[in-house]
Amino acid sequence: MASPDSPLTVAAALQRAVARLADAGVPDPEVDAELLAAFVLGTGRGGVQAAAIRRDALPADAAERLERLVARRATREPLQHLTGLAPFRHLELRVGPGVFVPRPETEMVAQLAIDALRAAASASPVAVDLGTGSGAIALAMATEVPHARVFAAENSVDAFVWTKENFARAGADNAELAFIDLAHAFPELDGTVSVVASNPPYVPDAAIPRDPEVRLYDPPAALYGGEDGLDVVRVLSGVGLRLAHPGGTIVIEHGEWQGEAIRALLTADGWRAAATHPDLTMRDRATTALRP
C-alpha cells in the first residue's frame, strides 16, 4: 500500500488490479477492474475513468475494499456475485449464489420474445417465461410491453429467493411469479398464451464449461440438460403446445450447435415455421416456432 505521504491514486489502484486479474486469466481485466472500483466508490465506470485521468487519490478504506474484491475476482468468482448486480437490457437484477447469472447474449432472446409479444393481436397479450431464474426475460417482457400480462415460473428454491427480490425491485404490476414445476405450470392459461419463452439448461452433461465462472458458480440445474442437452427443451415443447393459442410463438435459447436439432424436435411435435436466430456474434442463439 502507498504511504500516507504518497496516497494511492485511482489510476495506480486500477493498474494494480488489472495486472492481478490479467495474471489470473480473467477476460477483459480492465473492464472488471473499473467496474469493481466503481462499485467500491459508488459511481459509474465513467466516473472511475475520470478519476483516474484526474489522478484522484483513493481513500485507504476504499483501496482495501477494492483489493479484497480483486482478490476474490482473481479466483474467478463472478463479477456479478461480487457486486450483487447483473445488468440486463434496462434492468439491474440482483444475483448471487444459487441463481444463473444472465448473459448479454440472452438480451437478444428477450428481444425475440418482446417483438412477438408486441405483434400479438390482443389488447392484453399473455406471455410465460418458464424457468425464469433471475427473472431476466420475464421482467424485460413485462416492463417493455406494459400492456401485456407476464407469468414466470421457477422451480429452484435457491434461485427463487433472487427471483422474488427482482420482481419486487422491478415493481411491474403486470408480472406474476410462481414457484411451480415447469411441466405443470399455469394450467389456467392453457390455450391463451401468445409467447412462451425460456432460457433452459441446455449444456450436455458431458460438456463441462470451460470458464470457471460458469463451471464453479452457476447452479448445475441451470446448466445441464441431459445427454444431448435437450431434455428440458423436450418438456418446453410440450408445455408450450399446451399453453399457446394458435399462432402463438415459442422462443427457446440454446447453444450454437443445437439449432438444427431443436428445429427438428419442435417440428416433430407439431410446431410450424421453426427458425433459428443468431446473436450479435453471429452464433446461433435461439429458435422460434409457431403454434399451429
CATH of the domain at 124: 3.40.50.150
User: Which residues lie closer than 8 Å to 96 by C-beta, 6 or more apart?
Assistant: 81, 84, 162
Specify whether 174 is catalytic. Answer: no
Residue numbers of the domain that contains 31: 10-75
- pTM of this prediction? 0.91
Is the pLDDT reported for residue 2 higher than 50?
no
Is the pLDDT reported for residue 3 higher than 60?
no
Kindly state whether residues 63 and 194 are assigned to the same domain: no
Kindly state whether residues 267 and 122 are assigned to the same domain: yes
pLDDT tens figures, 63-94: 999 999 999 999 999 999 999 999 999 999 99
Write down the pLDDT at residue 7: 79
Question: pLDDT > 70: what percent of the chain?
Answer: 98
Domain presence at residue 1: no
Q: What is the DSSP string of the chain?
A: ---TTSPPBHHHHHHHHHHHHHHTT-SSHHHHHHHHHHHHHTS-HHHHHHHHHHTPBPPHHHHHHHHHHHHHHHTT--HHHHHSEEEETTEEEE--TTSPPP-TTHHHHHHHHHHHHHHSSSSS-EEEEES-TTTHHHHHHHHHSTTSEEEEEE--HHHHHHHHHHHHHHT-TTEEEEE--GGG--GGGTT-EEEEEE----B-TT---SSHHHHHHS-GGGTB-STTS-HHHHHHHHHHHHHEEEEEEEEEE--TT-HHHHHHHHHHHT-EEEEEEE-TTS-EEEEEEE--
Domain presence at residue 33: yes
User: Which residues lie closer than 8 Å to 146 by C-beta, 6 or more apart?
Assistant: 172, 174
* Cβ–Cβ under 8 Å, residues 143 and 172: yes
Domain presence at residue 22: yes
Domain end among 54, 75, 96: 75
Domain end among 75, 93, 110: 75
Kindly state whether residues 59 and 30 are assigned to the same domain: yes
Domain presence at residue 4: no
Task: Give the mean pLDDT of 210-227.
Answer: 92
Task: Give the mean pLDDT of 249-263.
Answer: 97
Kindly state whether residues 104 and 199 are assigned to the same domain: yes
Domain presence at residue 5: no
Specify whether 199 is catalytic. Answer: yes
Kindly state whether residues 56 and 188 are assigned to the same domain: no
End-to-end CA distance of the chain: 66
Kindly state whether residues 184 and 161 are assigned to the same domain: yes
Write down the pLDDT at residue 210: 87
Kindly state whether residues 38 and 101 are assigned to the same domain: no
Band of pLDDT at residue 1, cut at 50, 70 and 90 = very low
Catalytic residue chosen out of the listed positions 88, 100, 160, 186: 100
Domain count, the chain: 2
Residue 187's identity, in one-letter code, is P
CA atoms lying within 13 Å on the CB side of residue 139: 26
Kindly state whether residues 26 and 105 are assigned to the same domain: no
Task: Give the mean pLDDT of 195-223.
Answer: 93
- Are β-strands 91-94 and 85-88 bridged in parallel, bridged antiparallel, or unpaired? antiparallel
Domain presence at residue 205: yes
Domain presence at residue 28: yes
Specify whether 7 is catalytic. Answer: no
Kindly state whether residues 45 and 132 are assigned to the same domain: no
Kindly state whether residues 59 and 98 are assigned to the same domain: no
What is the number of other CB atoms lying within 10 angstroms of the CB of residue 114? 22
Of 196, 195, 149, 199, which is closest to residue 172 (Cα–Cα)? 149
Kindly state whether residues 209 and 236 are assigned to the same domain: yes
Is the pLDDT reported for residue 129 higher than 60?
yes
Is the pLDDT reported for residue 4 higher than 60?
no
Catalytic residue chosen out of the listed positions 167, 199, 201, 204: 199
Task: Output the average pLDDT for the chain.
Answer: 95
Of 292, 291, 280, which is closest to residue 109 (Cα–Cα)? 280
Kindly state whether residues 64 and 95 are assigned to the same domain: no
Of 67, 68, 65, 98, which is closest to residue 81 (Cα–Cα)? 98
Q: How far apart are CA 277 and CA 117, in angstroms?
A: 17
Domain end among 75, 97, 120: 75
pLDDT tens figures, 132-175: 999 999 999 999 999 999 999 999 999 999 999 999 999 999 99
Catalytic residue chosen out of the listed positions 29, 78, 125, 200: 200
Domain presence at residue 284: yes
